[in-house]
């Protein structure tokens, strides 16, 4: 599985370059346009040494160099102007540097202007947690699954909405899994890895991608341990969260119904709700 801190954001943006264009437009008012497609990310100097950016996207009128930054690295930061100048020289069009930094402190560091040429400076466009929306709605997650997964990665560690954000991310992974099973599983695990422990325990114990087995170590451990009654409280929480994510009204009668179920029956209920997207008759 790719590193959730570095390769996963790049994979999401490769799959859906339009997500990057929307984030940049909403955060900075910069229109990157439609039709972005991946291009070679290697930039060569006159000597044999090569510098390789994380991702380069080329559109009809723009070229976008994308860097994912997990930690402060002044040597890496010094290469960003080279990437941008090389991209401009190669493609001959407006060029932008976008840095994705899911850590708030790293995103603040990346925003500082970089002194460059002729007394000028390069100011990266930084997509940090504040620029990534908190996707909680199931329909939004299905319509923009890559954005929902990125939202879970950016916001799944803290805050009052982490369970709802996690549920939306898992719904997004299920949506992708209908088209590409391996990619859906990868996104599913990425969301689980991103969540805080309590949110992950509630969601991972119940939500399955229409019969796909979990791949994460936590889930394998849970399955191996069995479905003892001690997990029932977490599963009941997961039923409530899943219904909320899918827009299924919660009633006192449904609360009484889950109170009477054991862990095995609660897990089956969660799987059926996920599959049918309604409360079973």
Q: Which domain range does residue 30 map to? A: 7-131
- Looking at the structure, tell me whether residues 191 and 226 fall in a common domain: yes
For residue 100 the two structure tokens come to 């994705």
pLDDT tens digits, residue range 214-254? 444 434 443 444 334 446 766 777 788 778 767 788 999 99
Asked whether residue 71 falls in the same domain as residue 180, the answer is no
Considering the domain architecture, whether residues 95 and 168 belong to the same structural domain is answered as no
Say what percent of the chain tops pLDDT 90: 40
Q: 111, 131, 151: which is the final residue of a domain?
A: 131
Residue 177 and residue 104 share a domain: no
Identify whether 29 is part of a domain.
yes
How many separate domains does the chain show? Answer: 2
Mean pLDDT of 122-127: 96
Whether residues 201 and 86 share a domain: the answer is no
CA distance 243 to 280: 11
For residue 1, tell me if it sits in a domain.
no
pLDDT digits (tens, 9 = 90+) for 50-82: 567 889 999 999 999 999 999 999 999 999 999
Query: Among residues 79, 110, 131, which one ends one of the domains?
Result: 131
DSSP secondary structure string, 263-279? HHHHHHHHHHHHHHSS-
State the pLDDT at residue 135: 94
> Which whole-number Å values give the CA distances from 131 to 61, 207, 229, in the listed order?
24, 28, 41
Judge whether 121 lies within some domain.
yes
Residue finishing a domain among 91, 109, 131: 131
- Asked if 30 and 100 sit in the same domain, the reply is yes
Structure confidence at residue 18 (pLDDT): 94
Model confidence over 76-105: pLDDT tens digits? 999 999 999 999 998 999 999 999 999 999
Residues 69 and 194 in one domain: no
pLDDT, position 226: 39
Give CA–CA dist 252/249, Å, rounded.
Answer: 10
């Amino acid at each position: 599985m790719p590193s959730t801190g570095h390769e996963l954001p790049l994979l999401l943006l490769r799959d859906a370059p339009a997500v990057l264009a929307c984030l940049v437009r909403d955060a900075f008012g910069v229109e990157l346009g439609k039709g972005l497609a991946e291009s070679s990310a290697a930039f060569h100097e006159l000597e044999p040494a090569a510098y390789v950016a994380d991702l380069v996207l080329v559109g009809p009128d723009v070229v976008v160099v994308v860097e994912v930054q997990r930690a402060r690295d002044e040597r890496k930061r010094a290469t960003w102007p080279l990437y941008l100048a090389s991209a401009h020289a190669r493609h001959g069009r407006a060029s932008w540097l976008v840095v994705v930094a899911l850590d708030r402190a790293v995103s603040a560091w990346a925003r500082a202007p970089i002194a460059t040429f002729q007394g000028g400076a390069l100011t990266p466009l930084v997509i940090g947690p504040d620029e990534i929306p908190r996707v909680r709605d199931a329909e939004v997650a299905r319509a923009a699954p890559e954005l929902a997964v990125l939202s879970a990665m950016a916001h799944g560690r803290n805050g009052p909405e982490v369970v709802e954000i996690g549920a939306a991310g898992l719904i997004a992974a299920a949506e992708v899994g209908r088209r590409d099973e391996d990619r859906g599983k990868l996104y599913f695990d990425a969301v689980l890895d991103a969540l805080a422990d309590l949110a992950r325990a509630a969601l991972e114990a119940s939500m399955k991608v229409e019969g796909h087995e979990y791949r994460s170590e936590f889930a394998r451990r849970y399955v191996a341990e069995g479905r003892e009654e001690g997990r029932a409280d977490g599963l009941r929480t997961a039923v409530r969260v899943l219904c909320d994510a899918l827009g299924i009204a919660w009633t006192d009668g449904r609360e009484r119904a889950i109170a009477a179920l054991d862990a095995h029956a609660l897990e089956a209920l969660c799987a059926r709700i996920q599959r049918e997207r309604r409360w079973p008759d």
